[in-house]
Structure 1
Amino acid sequence: MVKGWKDKLENHVNLNENIFVDMNVKGNAEYDFCCFGVDENGKLSDDGYMIFYNQRTSPNAELRVEDITDGVRYTLNLSTLPDFINRLVFTVSIDGNQTMGEMNSLETKVYQSGDNDIEMKLGGKDFTKEKAVIVMEIYRKDVWRIGCVASGFDGGLSALLKYFGGEEVKDESNQNLSSSNQKILLEKKMEKAPELISLVKPLVFELKKKNLESTVAKVGLVLDISGSMVPRFKNGTVQSIVNKTLPLAVQFDDDGELDFWFYGTTARQMDSVNLKNYTKAVPDDWKHLMMELGGRNNEPIVMRMVVDEYKDTKIPAYVLFITDGGVNNKKEIRNIITEASHLPIFWQFVGVGGKNYGVLEKLDTMTGRYVDNAGFFALDDFQKVSNEELYARLLEEFPAWLEAIRKKGMI
């Protein structure tokens, strides 16, 4: 293959059998490979057909990707692709400051048995300052065809996503970002914690739905460690809460860290949670920590600590407050929430399978606040609720609060 070359694919492979596409690149940059399955308008109408390092298979495994030395191998089953997928576009992009003109070589091979390989070799001399390249396409035009494109984009992955029809939004620095790009950017950040990648899609869906994609905020997590929480520490619920809150911090906060408190009779601010240490957020000796902090609920003491942490913040703070009930100190809790309504702090209280949530169940009717700054809901079992429902509920009241504090000039 050379740039501009086209042919019927059936002249080279059996369309009813698996077809392999190997892509290898050598150079001094970090290269990302992607196959976009687009419709007849050239748009990514179903992001399930965007195959890359964090989504390695299409919905029905018609397209798959695996790592090989210096690149990837795609496996294609064209006979099972849905009719709306009209074109498969194979791309390479750079994550970093380098350009495609600096690479040593880019080799692409399409084959089955190996006897009739279709090969294309490109090098840095074929490009200049591009940060992404459409290498080739396999497309329907009465029959399946193949074409060598070898066309670059100065804008890298963002330009590719825009080209394939991502919905444009603006971030805080007025940079164009597509909703698909938001998903890619968050997945890229989360690749340090691959077991959490599945949380990205439902979170980004909810962020888009509530127009929160470009929101910048501090994120804090407060966890009940009173005696009644023992079963939830033992069965992994507490660690699951940390896991599912962390992507919010990675998305909202530039430093990607989650501020973190445990509380019982007393409270303690722990080390911030990030993608490197989140598996240790719940210490192995949590029983010892539980004894140190005391066995009964004392919400006001930790709430005061949270207020002290964020009282001077210049950006909003989203605080997720987890308890299994036994909430007392009604008057003091009301006073703290009322006082904090003048600060850019939003409190999302969540009950986890307990009882006696007291004043938290009456937040919606609480009067005397500058803005409505708190919400509450209870779950029978945190681990059984779907990620889609969880993020929908966690972010249900946050957008209205953001709008309210903006109108009041609080941020």
Structure 2
Amino acid sequence: MVKGWKDKLENHVNLNEKIFVDMKAKGNAEYDFCCFGVDGNGKLSDDRYMIFYNQKTSPKAEVSEEDIADGVRYTLNLSTIPDFINRLVFTVSIDGNKTMGEMNSLETKVYQSGAKDIEMTLGGNDFSNEKAVIAMEIYRKDVWRIGFVASGFDGGLSALLKYFGGEEVVSEPVQESVVAEPVKVSLEKKMEKAPELISLVKPLVFELKKKNLETTVARVGLVLDISGSMVPRFKNGTVQSIVNKTLPLAVQFDDDGELDFWFYGTTARKMNSVNLKNYTTAVPEDWKHLMLDLGGRNNEPIVMRMVVDEYKDTKIPAYVLFITDGGVNQKREIQNIITEASHLPIFWQFVGVGGKNYGILEKLDTMSGRYVDNAGFFALDDFKKVSNEELYARLLEEFPSWLEKIREKGMI
């Protein structure tokens, strides 16, 4: 069958017997399959009829899902579906930064024992930069009908969820309400790719909920001091721990789940973005060589200018975590950059790690002349030893009030 094809379903299968739908996607991405059971207004009025990896059956097994090679198989009992469910919408979305245009194939097959299969096969050339596809619908229009839609969406599963009127909020698991568990829908699902970081999800989600940051979209950047005094923190794993604990913020806030990353000493360098695939190698094994290349003394202004250039035209907020062990001297230039950047949607969270002489950073709360208060600072004796609960509470302490102020001023 082809895009746009429609027919009465009874012309192909027995509506009173189980009907099977197989969906398979092949390509270089992670694919998430979902069946939305929506009402006459096209809305997901009962989230128990959203069938996906974390909720594999509807309340009375009217629709259920099982994994198969390269995809999923849905089993449908149409005769038991409640009257308010008007349409079953079968979708596939990409978890990550790939697009449907890069996909090799998407196969959708409807079949039943003793009946002829109904099939549609799509390829990457049927799409471009979309992150999700509505492949097929089975819907009521006097009788049950079937239609192959093959319509793309620029967003992923979140965009589909919003399109069908669902709500994605970060919260602790809610009984019988999967849609109200975007920790499952977004963060926790994505973090499964890095099982050693899963323990970070719960404390981060708790803090996001507490500070009403559940649906915040932002770019996230990490700036790391690589001056000579940081040698002990590279050797004892503190620097890698900083990367590990910052990455979930990027996975949560940024649609692409990418963490922008800079090292700085006397000079600075923007590194490859960090993600769930490469985070274990974000701190290079030959960090000593990089330290020599970038120079041994602190020069915060040079990297701060690079960060401003990166985000000056952003249409969404940017959260920048700036890590140093001290030796901060260029007071006037740092103050000027922060003041200038107060007109941009960039928030600076400076963190001291077991060092001294933080200079102007310790006086950010009393710095005058800024359009909005756009920076915070705190110091830790040992980044690795602070609890995850305390760390995320402190990292996100001032960010919400800054967001509120820039929204009031129309900066985003």
Q: TM-score range by the shorter chain?
A: 0.5 to 0.7
Q: 1:124 is matched with which residue? A: 75
Q: Does 1:182 align with 2:182?
A: yes
Matched, 1:92 2:56: yes
Indicate the residue corresponding to 1:237 in structure 2: 238
**Contact 2:56–2:65 at 8 Å: present in 1 too?**
no
Per-residue Cα deviation, 1:133-175 (whole angstroms, up to 9, x for no partner): xxxxxxxxxxxxxxxxxxxxx9xxxxxxxxxxxxxxxx98874
User: Matches of 1:202 and 1:369 in 2, distance apart?
Assistant: 32
In structure 2, relative to structure 1, the CA distance for the partners of 1:320 and 1:125 (3 Å cut) is closer
Q: Which amino acid aligns with 1:246?
A: L
Q: In 1, Cα distance between the equivalents of 2:346 and 2:403? A: 10
How far apart are the structure 2 equivalents of 1:402 and 1:198? 27
CA distance 1:100–1:341, change in 2 (3 Å)? same
1:354 partner letter: G
Which SS does the other structure have where 2:304 is aligned?
A: helix
**Residues 172, 224 of structure 1: alpha-carbon distance in 2 compared, 3 angstrom cutoff:** farther
Looking at structure 2, the residues matched to 296 and 104 of structure 1 have their Cα atoms a distance apart, in angstroms, of 54
Q: Once the 2 structures are TM-superposed, how far is the Cα of residue 327 of structure 1 from its aligned partner?
A: 0.5
Q: CA deviation at 1:124?
A: 2.0
Cα distance change of structure 1 residues 398 and 103 upon mapping to structure 2, 3 Å threshold? closer
Counterpart check, 1:332 vs 2:333: yes
Describe the superposition over 1:112-133 as per-residue Cα deviations: whole angstroms up to 9, x where unpaired: xxxxxxxxxx9824357488xx
Q: State TM-score, norm by structure 2.
A: 0.62
Q: Give the AA of the match of 1:272.
A: S
Once the two structures are superposed, what CA deviation does each residue of 1:362-389 show, in whole Å capped at 9, x if it has no partner? 0000000000000000000000001000
Q: Relative to structure 1, is the Cα distance of residues 101 and 387 closer, same or farther in structure 2, using a 3 angstrom cutoff?
A: closer
**Matching residue of 2:276:** 275
Distance (Å, rounded) in 2 between the aligned partners of 1:325 and 1:100: 58
Once residues 123 and 259 of structure 1 are traced to their aligned partners in structure 2, the CA distance between those partners, rounded to angstroms, is: 39
The residue type equivalent to 1:399 in the other structure is P
Cα 1:101–1:306 shift into 2, 3 Å: same
Give the counterpart letter for 2:375 in structure 1.
A
Q: Give 1:4-23 correspondences, 5 Å limit.
A: none
- Code of the residue aligned with 1:310 in structure 2: it is Y
CA contact (8 A) 2:203 2:388 kept: yes
User: Are the equivalent residues in 1 in contact too, given 2:168–2:215 (CA < 8 A)?
Assistant: no
Q: How many residues align?
A: 275
Q: Which residue identity does 1:373 align to in structure 2? A: N
1:255 match: secondary structure: coil
Work out whether residues 226 and 265 of structure 2, in 8 Å CA contact, stay in contact via their aligned partners in 1. Answer: yes
Give the distance between the partners of 1:306 and 1:271, measured in 2 at CA. 14
Encode CA deviations 1:299-333: one digit per residue, 9 max, x unaligned.
00000000000000000000000000000100100
Q: Could you tell me the percent identity over the aligned residues?
A: 78
| Structure 1 counterpart of 2:355 | 354
What residue is the counterpart of 2:367 in the other structure?
366
Name the CA shift for 1:339/1:31 in 2 (closer, same or farther; >3 Å).
Answer: closer
Q: Is the 1:311–1:343 contact (alpha carbons within 8 Å) kept by the matching residues of 2?
A: yes
Distance 1:366 1:404 in 2: 17
The change in CA–CA distance for 1:196 and 1:123 in structure 2 (over 3 A counts) is closer
SS in 1 for 2:302: helix
The 3 A distance-change label for structure 1 pair 265 and 31 is same
For structure 2, the 5+ residue unaligned runs are 1-19, 25-31, 35-52, 82-87, 91-138, 140-160, 174-180
User: Which residue pairs with 2:193 in the alignment?
Assistant: 192
Which residue of 1 is the match for residue 343 of structure 2? 342
Per-residue deviation, 1:104:
9.4
Specify the SS of the correspondent of 1:176: coil
In structure 2, distance between residues paired with 1:342 and 1:31: 42
Q: Distance in 1 between matches of 2:297 and 2:347?
A: 25
Residues 290 and 28 of structure 1, relative CA distance in 2, 3 Å threshold:
same
The equivalent of 1:266 in structure 2 is 267
Query: Compared with structure 1, are the counterparts of its residues 101 and 380 closer, same or farther at alpha carbon in structure 2 (3 Å cutoff)?
Result: closer
- In the TM superposition, 1:160-239 aligns within 5 A as 175-178=166-169, 179=171, 180=173, 181-184=181-184, 185-239=186-240
Structure 1: segments with no counterpart, 5+ residues? 1-24, 33-52, 55-90, 106-121, 132-153, 155-170
- CA displacement at 1:26 relative to structure 2: 11
**1:252 and 2:253 equivalent?**
yes
The Cα of 1:92 is off from its aligned counterpart by 2.2
Give yes or no for the alignment of 1:284 onto 2:292: no
Give the match for residue 306 of structure 2: 305
Q: State the distance in 2 between where 1:195 and 1:304 align.
A: 34
2:57 & 2:307 partners in 1: Cα distance? 42
Cα separation, 1, equivalents of 2:376 and 2:67: 55
Aligned to 1:65: none
- Is the contact between residue 317 and residue 346 of structure 2 (CA under 8 Å) also seen in structure 1? yes
Q: Counterpart of 1:336 in structure 2: which amino acid?
A: I
Deviation string, structure 1 residues 213-261 (Cα, Å, up to 9, x no partner): 0000010000000000001001110000000000000100111100000
- SS of the aligned residue for 1:177 comes to coil
Label 1:279 to 1:216 Cα distance change in 2 as closer, same or farther (>3 A).
same
Distance 1:312 1:289, change over 3 A: same
Query: C-alpha separation between the residues in 1 aligned to 2:327 and 2:395?
Result: 21
